[in-house]
Amino acid sequence: ASVFSDIEMGPPIEVFKMVAEFNADPHPEKVNLSVGAYRGNDGKPWVLPVVRTVEAQMASDQTLNHEYLPVAGLPDFRTGACKMILGEEDPAIVQNRVAGVQALGGTGALKVAADFLRQNMKYEYVYVSTPTWENHKSLFTKAGFKVKEHRYWNAKTCSVDLEGMLEDLRTAPPKSVVILHAVAHNPTGTDPTQEQWKQIADVCEEKKLFVLMDCAYQGYTSGDLDKDAWSCRYFSQRGFEFFIAQSFSKNFGLYNERVGNLCVVCKDSDSKSKVLSQMELNVRVVWSNPSNHGARIVATVLNNPPLYAEWRESIKTMANRILFMREQLHQKLKAIGCPGNWDHIVQQQGMFSYTGLNEHQSEQMVKRFHIYMLKSGRISMAGLNSQNLDYVAKAINTVVTE
């Protein structure tokens, strides 16, 4: 018998299972609304022009080589990433009490945070919203946390259940971390208002919750990097010591390059240096030092004003196309008289819509119509385009009316 004979088959990872099944599906009208990855109106992944430009420069730059990066990553990338989320004028940036740790995507940044909070700080509990991105729970469980959930989504009103959320957070035991989606909540597409963020911050302060912002979609809500950074900047200005896990997968379209940063905001620069030194030791035993290619692209763009401006235009293009798809889907559902109120499609923000389709209806979308979406009812708006909108709207109408 194999030494592995007691190992059980693990459950599939829903979102990547969907992608694989979509790719293998020969149906001519298949649509992929599962994974949160941008596509143009032609249904194809979009390599941003600024990324192509920088890659071409890199290919011919004879001064570049493949030496190891520092353990904490490329310095220009880390500084640029922290400034991008907090803003150049942020007091913590100005006072040199922010550190960046380059990581393997947003997931890697969460991992650096989880390991440090558990191992070095002895935090025991982590609060996540119901619902949340499924990887939050698994990642923190494997890092040794006990996961607790706080209310977030009010399905009746299609809005944030702020009272429920605050009530749950007020019962948090000592040594609790809370993961907050900085912008474009995944999967609900519904963020707290600025007034609600203030109340959330009050409870975090009162209960001494350690705040970990997960920021995977900066730019996708408003099309503007600064506006989308509001919640993070607010926490910094209030004097919180907190972390922000940043992903560059979506806003740079660099999914498979795994470009992330953990932005560490401390009260003073002495603490910052000590925290960073411990995180380096943690990173050393996980991936030792990060990869170069994607981080160099991002660093080049962030530190070059004309390229930065060009990138910001591309973000607007992506955000606007998604907004347009929201309007179109909303109109089509109303035009065909699909029962129910579909206003949440245009009210929600970021890459996803939480359609309200139940598990059975969502499965019917996949099985009968070859429209791949998560069983929670989440769809990626970026998977819609002018060729498949009618088909998707009709399918939704069918599964809802039957």
| Number of residues engaging ligand LMR in binding (CB under 6 A) | 6
Residues 196-255 close enough to bind ligand LMR by CB under 6 A:
none
Whether 250 is catalytic: yes
Does residue 394 contact residue 336 with C-beta atoms inside 8 Å? Answer: yes
What is the closest distance, in whole angstroms, from the C-beta atom of residue 135 to ligand LMR in the complex? 6
Does residue 216 contact residue 191 with C-beta atoms inside 8 Å? Answer: no
Does residue 259 contact residue 120 with C-beta atoms inside 8 Å? Answer: no
Give the H or E element holding residue 265: strand 259-265
Tell me the two tokens of residue 182: 């900085």
Q: Which of 299, 266, 343 is nearest to 99 (CA)?
A: 266
Q: Given candidates 31, 32, 33, 36, which one binds ligand LMR under the rule CB under 6 A?
A: 36
The 3-class SS string of 132-192 reads: CCHHHHHHHHHCCCEEEEEECEECCCCEECHHHHHHHHHCCCCCEEEEEECCCCCCCCCCC
Q: Which is nearer to ligand LMR, 51 or 104 (CB)?
A: 104
Whether 224 is catalytic: no
Tell me the two tokens of residue 240: 């919180």
CA gap 384, 41 in Å, rounded: 8
Residue whose entry in the numeric block shows the structure tokens 């009208």: 29
Q: Given candidates 15, 82, 117, 128, which one binds ligand LMR under the rule CB under 6 A?
A: 15
Residues 102-141 close enough to bind ligand LMR by CB under 6 A:
133, 135
What is the closest distance, in whole angstroms, from the C-beta atom of residue 354 to ligand LMR in the complex? 12
Catalytic annotation, pick one of 133, 197, 311, 342: 133
What is the closest distance, in whole angstroms, from the C-beta atom of residue 333 to ligand LMR in the complex? 23
User: CB-side exposure of 180: number of CA atoms within 13 Å?
Assistant: 29
Whether 287 is catalytic: no
- Which residue of the chain is nearest ligand LMR when measured via CB? 36
What is the closest distance, in whole angstroms, from the C-beta atom of residue 13 to ligand LMR in the complex? 8
Q: Which is nearer to ligand LMR, 131 or 356 (CB)?
A: 131
By CB under 6 A, tell whether 186 contacts ligand LMR.
yes
Q: Which is nearer to ligand LMR, 96 or 141 (CB)?
A: 141
Residues 304-333 close enough to bind ligand LMR by CB under 6 A:
none
What is the closest distance, in whole angstroms, from the C-beta atom of residue 353 to ligand LMR in the complex? 13
Q: Given candidates 19, 21, 35, 389, which one binds ligand LMR under the rule CB under 6 A?
A: 35
What is the closest distance, in whole angstroms, from the C-beta atom of residue 185 to ligand LMR in the complex? 11
CA gap 328, 334 in Å, rounded: 10
Catalytic annotation, pick one of 250, 272, 332, 342: 250
Crossing angle of helices 305-335/389-401, nearest 10°? 40
Q: Which is nearer to ligand LMR, 135 or 358 (CB)?
A: 135
Q: Which is nearer to ligand LMR, 135 or 159 (CB)?
A: 135
Q: Which of 286, 295, 291, 298 is nearest to 113 (CA)?
A: 286
Residues marked active site are found at: 133, 214, 250
Task: Note the residues at the interface with ligand LMR (CB under 6 A).
Answer: 15, 35-36, 133, 135, 186
